[in-house]
Structures are given as structure tokens and as C-alpha cells.
A = this chain, B = another copy of it.
Amino acid sequence: MLQSIDARSGTPIGEHWPESNLAQIAEAVDAAEAAAGDFASTSAPQRAALLRALAAELEADREALVALADRETGLGLPRLNGELDRTTFQLRGFAGVVERGVAHERIDDAAVAGPPPAGRPRLTRVRVPVGPVAMFSASNFPFAFSVLGGDTASALAAGCPVVVKGHPAHPELSRRTAALASRVVAQQGLPPGVFQFVEGASIEVGVALTKAPAVAAVAFTGSYKGGIALAKIAAQRPRPIPFYGELGSVNPLLVLPPALESKGAELAATLASSICLGAGQFCTSPGVIVVAEGSAGDAFTAALATALKDMQPHAMLSPGIRATFDRGVAQWRATPQIKPLVDARDGGPATLPRPFLAEVTAEDFIANSALHEEVFGSAALVVRVASTDQAVQVLKCIGGSLTVTLWGAEVQSDEAHRLVRVATQVAGRVLFSGVPTGVAVTAAQHHGGPFPASTQPFTTSVGYAALDRFLRPVALQDAPQWMVDRQGVPA
């Protein structure tokens, strides 16, 4: 059952309704499959027009959408208006990418006369849309990683129909956005199968969608547990399909001595804000802060604690997410080796969440694998290290992460080299200033780190390379001229 709930009060709004049943899911996938051929053959201007019209309609309905999102997520109007801006920017960005010909790019190698290996036939490498993409919306970005978020935008840009599964934590917003999308698809003269929508809170809906034979790829942003379960199903189908899962991340942040000494207090305040941004509900929220032992590190840690103490994150997205946060913090509290620094115990599920910060030695952190797991929310561990060696070990034992931030690596040194190398081995994005929360939508972006941050670390779910996930290369050998002349994919 689906039910819209006021995130701040926990009050149900309106009636509940049933989730999509198996017949409805099959029907949605069938419609997408039926539309796949025609949509794969669309030209760049056609796809760009669709993406731009989606952006325009989101803006036209902004007031109602943002109000609905605010009620269902509690994220606040400024953030949600900004997120809607980012979502339309992204749709238009992909329109531009398609207009520049990226989705229709080909490599054409002329024939070379003579025997192999130098002699060869003409080969034209094109990229073919994979077919219907199952898209799982995330709870924490009700616009940018939901119904018309980056996964949908990039799949449509690639020429793939999308079957979106709305997130049950913002069900009314999902429905309204989906209705808007279907309207735009019809206005553009495209078959309804280009955009399909299913909904559900139970695991069965996601499983059925992932198993549907015509689904050609899955894009997923969500929990480690849910993502791993669906990835396994995608791999065990009679025809396995790519599962592009972004499963969350610890996002270690290292404050190196040069940064501690030059501007420790300022950075501590910046970091506290990043930890509390959106109540810590960013996949790039910093969860482990690596700080050298010694007085400069002590001062930074104290400044961070002071800054965090006064912060009040807003309500979390759902009672379930709040309960998981409370459980994660309780587990840290129950770990004898950690020393709480910010820990306002008053409150409870009915109150607003309180930030949590604790300190732990590198030895204790490394030895306790439970501490390497993400606690989703405004909670972080300060890990005190005695050496670059220990900092390296801390990064390695955390493993795959969407981001690693290195503050104080501006000046070249052996230590900086070593840390940068390890950071590039464990993360998809390495920052040298600023905070990891906030992911720019651009060509050079990479949002997807080694496992478990991502199930496909060579691909990104943010930025224009996200398109590549849905276009499979095919080499055409001695293709007839009529096919090479076509602007769209050969079909």
C-alpha cells in the first residue's frame, strides 16, 4: 500500500492506494518494449525537444510540485526549488549533449586494401540504445534522483524508453511528476511506452521490474541492501543485464597538516555544515574525518564539535530512514573504542534528529569493520592518525567510496602523492577543496566509485557520461551506404 505522509508531522495525508500489481508492471514493460524501436530511431532534435519540454513543464508546475515535495520529504522550499532547478538544468544539459551529436556518434574506419592484419574491411562503430531501462527513484532527491532525474534524462537522451518506479516516500509527488511526463511524451507525438510509471513499497515490485524479460538495463539509487539484492537478480536472469546501482558511500575526508595549520577553524565550520546539509541525507555526506594526532588536530576536532553542537538538522525523509539513523548512532555509541564528542541524547523518534560526532583512534577504526559502514544522516567519526601510513590504511579499509576529500594537498609532496594515489584507487571523485555534498552536472563529472559505492564503477550516474550506460557499441562491417547515411541508429 502507498500512502502520502507529512514528513514533519508523520500524519497521513489522504487515502492510501494499492501498489502496481504484476499485470500492471508487465503492461508497462510491454509498452516500453513496443516503443523501443521507434524511439531508438529518433533523431537528435526529436530527443532534445522531448528533454526540453520536460524541463519546461516541470518549471510550469513548479509551485505545486515543490509544495508537494516539501510536504512529503520535509526538505524545505529553498532546497527543493534549487533541486528542481538542477533537474531542469540536467534535462536541458542532456538535450544539448544530444544536439551535439553525442548519442549518434560513430567511428568510421575506411577499408584498407591488402591482406590482414593491415588490410581490413570498412568498419563503422555506432552505439545502439539498449532498450527499456528500469529506473528506481531515490528518496533523498525527490526531483534530481527521482522520476525525471538524471537516470531518466540520460536514458531518454540515449534513445531508451524508461519504466520508472516511483519512491514510496514521496508517492504523490511521483505520481504528479509521472503524469506530467506522460503528457509531454504525448504532446511530442511519441508513443506512451517511451515513459512508463509503476509504484510500490514492497520488494516484489522492484523484483518483478528487474526480472521483466524486456528490461535491458536497471538504474538504481538507494540502499546497499536493496541494491545488492536487485543486482543479484539482474545477474541471474536468463539474459543478465547491466545493473547500474549507486549504493551509498562513507566519503572519507582527510584534513592534512597544511590545512589544519592554515585555516583549521574555518574548515571545521564548513565541514559541520556539510555533515548537516539536508539532515545528512546526501550520498556524498562526509562520514569519516581523518585528522592527524597532535595539537593542531585536537584544535580542529574541537572546533568541528563546537560547530556541530549548535546545528539542528531538519526532519528526516521518512520514519524508516530516521529509525535506521538512530540505530546506526546507537551502535556507534555502544562501541567501547569510540569517544562521543557531540551526542545530544535527548529527543527520540518524534523529535528532530541531532548530529552525532565521535572520535576513534586509527588502530581501533581499522580493527572494527562495523565502523566502516555508512550511517545515513548527520553523523561522522573523527579518526585520528599518527602517520600517512595510517591514513592510507584507513582509506583502504573503508574501500570503495563515491568521494574522497583531501584538504591540504595543494603543495606537492611525497605524502600528497601517496594519498592522491590511494584516493583515486578507492573513489570516483577526489576533491582538493570544498565539500563532497553537491555534485556538479557536467561532462567531467564522475559519480560512482569502486564497490560498494557503485555496482559499475566505470560508469557515472551524474554528468553527461551517464548517457554511455545505455548505448551499446556495435561495429557495422561493410555497411551499405543507405545505412551509414542515416542520422539515427540503423533500424
Which residues in A have some Cβ–Cβ distance to B below 8 Å?
A: 37, 40, 82, 85-86, 89-90, 106-109, 115-118, 120-121, 123-126, 128, 131, 235, 239-240, 242, 399-400, 409-412, 417, 420-421, 424-425, 427-434, 438, 440-447, 450-451, 455, 457-458, 460, 463, 465, 468, 472-480, 482-483, 489-491
Contacts and interface: CB of A to CB of B under 8 A. Distances in A.
Given A109-B444, A117-B441, A235-B235, 15 more contacts: A82-B115, A89-B117, A89-B118, A120-B442, A239-B399, A239-B400, A411-B480, A420-B491, A421-B491, A428-B475, A430-B476, A432-B479, A444-B475, A445-B475, A465-B473
Contacts of A476: 429-430, 432
Contact of A424 (B427, B451, B455, B491): B491
A446 B120 contact: no
A134 B10 CA distance: 53
A261 B450 CA distance: 55
A440 B121 contact: yes
A457 B472 contact: yes
A142 to B, nearest CB: 16
Contacts of A417: 491
Nearest to A123: B444
A475 B412 contact: no
B443 A121 contact: no
20 contacts: A37-B421, A82-B115, A82-B117, A89-B118, A106-B444, A120-B442, A121-B434, A128-B424, A235-B235, A412-B483, A420-B483, A424-B489, A428-B474, A430-B474, A430-B479, A432-B479, A434-B478, A444-B475, A460-B473, A465-B473
A475 B121 contact: no
A455 B421 CA distance: 29
Contacts of A440: 109, 116-117, 120-121, 123
Contacts of A410: 480
A125 B458 CA distance: 12
A437 to B, nearest CB: 11
Contacts of A424: 126, 128, 474, 489-491
B475 A239 contact: no
Contacts of A116: 82, 86, 438, 440
Contacts of A490: 420-421, 424
B475 A429 contact: yes
A368 to B, nearest CB: 16
Give this chain's copy count. Answer: 2
Contacts of A441: 117
B444 A458 contact: no
A86 B115 CA distance: 11
A242 B455 CA distance: 10
Given A86-B116, A412-B480, A491-B420, A131 B474 contact: no
Contact of A451 (B124, B240, B438): B240
Contacts of A123: 440, 442, 444-445
Given A116-B82, A239-B399, A425 B128 contact: yes
Contact of A239 (B242, B431, B450, B477): B450
A86 to B, nearest CB: 4
Given A117-B86, A399-B239, A491-B417, A474 B429 contact: yes
Nearest to A432: B478
A115 to B, nearest CB: 8
Contacts of A90: 117
A468 B120 CA distance: 22
Nearest to A428: B474
Contacts of A108: 444
A477 B427 CA distance: 12
A241 to B, nearest CB: 8
A457 B474 CA distance: 10
